[in-house]
Structure 1
Amino acid sequence: MTGTARSLAPLAGAWKQAFHLATNGSGSYGKGLNLARNGAVAQIHTQPGRISAPVAAKKATHQAVIHLPELTATQWESLAARLADDPQAVADLVANRIPATIADSGHAGGISITPPSDGITFSCSCPTGRTHRVCDHSAALGHAVAERLTNSPSLLLGARGMTARALAAHVRDLVDGADPGPLPADTNGTVRAAQLYSLAAHRPPQTAPSLDLDTVTILTYTDAPLPGPRAQDLAHMTADAAARARTLLTDTTAAPHDELADILRILASPDGADHLAAAQRATGIPEATLRAMMIGYRHGGPAGAHATLAATPATRDVLEQARETLHSSRAVGLGTITLDGDALTDTTAGVQIRPGPDGRWYPFTVWRAGEWRPAPGPCDDPAEAFRAARRARAARPLRR
């Protein structure tokens, strides 16, 4: 995921520039950034031509919308044809990943996934937004989109009029039975195994050599027989495995990095829900819990997923000190903070914070029948995490 995030960084950068220009110097741009950083933006929804989300601010929640033009059918055809000529893009798409190529219009047939700044407009349920001017809430949504694009580029694809799944299917049709060519390494010198084997399925079968059984024939293969990966691809994979081994030996990996976190990384991807049944069989964790952990992963990475499954054990002194911090910071309203196992809970407000395995505090809101759902805004400061939970609770009605 790190390599994918770096390769798609230009897409987020292009969106930030276009979004900034679209706000036309409004003071809401900076105020919206503060709201987004404080976890005010709830779940983002995408439809053709619009991106929307509830945004909580000043004890009120407003529905913010960013409008942008859809790409035409001709433009999508041009983009798909250009992607079909790029082995790296084909490998990404057949492995259900968004190719980094879409972040660069120069390599995507001149088609830019990021809309021009004059094509971005705003609306909101607040008084300012009703006049179709940018407000603090729609600006916060724009910043939240930029933050999530490196991990969820399908947000922008859907708003421009095509899902990632539909684009991948179209490219598959274009390359079916053809040889897309060798797969180059990505920007950090690695090649993913899933890409290699997915790409190999689209290469024509290798013709079996003609053998004379009465004579001894020595065959030499530069590449392994298809559908296996090519020799160059194996070299890239070997180099990547060696680099990861060195990282493990020097103990510089970010905890927690384990099999469960890696499963959640896949589930949290744009098409990860398709693997829920397999993940449930592999882990024995109920589907509802896995879905909640997917949300936790999106908000806080591997640590967020683990915190959703269970709070990290903490000493009584740590919990009491955190509770004192909440009271002294006035983050608590009229409720009472109770120690609920290794978590701090305000049952009146319907919010909770839990210690995570990375030392941060993770916010949660009550969902139904005592079930807790993760919220955005994990923080080293328990008071800030508690405020993030309250903001998310205000934006999320109680499910009964």
Structure 2
Amino acid sequence: MTAARGFPAFPPQRAGARFATSWWGRAWLKAMEDTSLDHVLLRKGRAYAKTGQIGPITVSPGRIAAVTESEYDTVVRVEQLTDAAWERFLDQVAAKSGHIAALLDRDMPHDLVEAAEDAAVPLLPAVGDLEPECSCPDWGHPCKHAAALCYQASWLLDADPFVLLLMRGRGERELVEALQRRGTSGDETPAAQETGGVAAAEAFAAGVPPLPEPPPLEVAFAPPVLEAPADRTPGVDVAALRVLAASAASRARELLLHGRLPELTEYQDRVRLAADHDLDLGLEAAVQAWRYGGTHGLDVLERPWTPPRPDLARAQTRLEAGWEGERPPQVEAWRNRWTLGPLQLRYGRDGRWYPFTLRDGAWWPAGPPERDPSALVTG
């Protein structure tokens, strides 16, 4: 059986400290928060997590556990993967060398999780997948102690995605050894196994091996510069043509990277061109919004909308949790826009809050978005 891992208790954190900065850590918290029926208990759980009222955490297959304040035994259970599911997961990891390198570098690639889901291997928990237990008398699901444990666990997941894999049933050493066994071929000749090489005649007889996978596209990229002398292209706006050629190259690279391109209106595409190529089209605020959030940033700049009530309730709880023991700032709320003095937060349809500040009597995009509104206010 895979050995458990122990982690020391987290010390008290500063007001406004964030939970889950990694995308897989946020998915963990979303599964817990979406299951909860009591936002007050979630707020208390965040306060417990930040004020250091959770003892050392033990992570083992199928569970995380800690002793919380008042000596309550708190456990959150996670379903373990079957042996067959682990074999399918290892197939997905071994299929791309970058997956192994990313995991060892303490990163959880999106495409690995997606490939695992396609193979019916759920790595990240969904709503209802986390089962909290606590010896306290609270009937909450989760109670404030289990919620606090989940919030602190998100810090562990941020630092090491192998913590999530251990919860699912297998630890780092066990997985690495399994992958190493898969990387060793079983059809070598005895001589090759002893010497670590292959006879020249045998190597030539094997023919030319297939080429390796192309290198990743996530490298520094500079769009090509179109050379078109104006004296040889009468009637053509060469400067505009250069911009369009560079834009086409960038969009083609984006298509190769992500397999799709968002559909843009004519106006959105004009803003994109101005943002990508520093064009002066009289769209300064729109360009700034695009650079911070793309289509979502542009939408939140120009169109108010009414978010679902649970989204706003969760945001209010997070905002209040950033001021444990202090009174949070007064909020003037209207639809998706919360005004706090000289700062305005706007909730986007992508589930993130965008900061705005006053400039010449108008609200101006002021920075990148955050899922936790308190991070924007305290920052």
- Pairwise same-fold verdict (TM > 0.5): no
TM range (shorter): 0.3 to 0.5
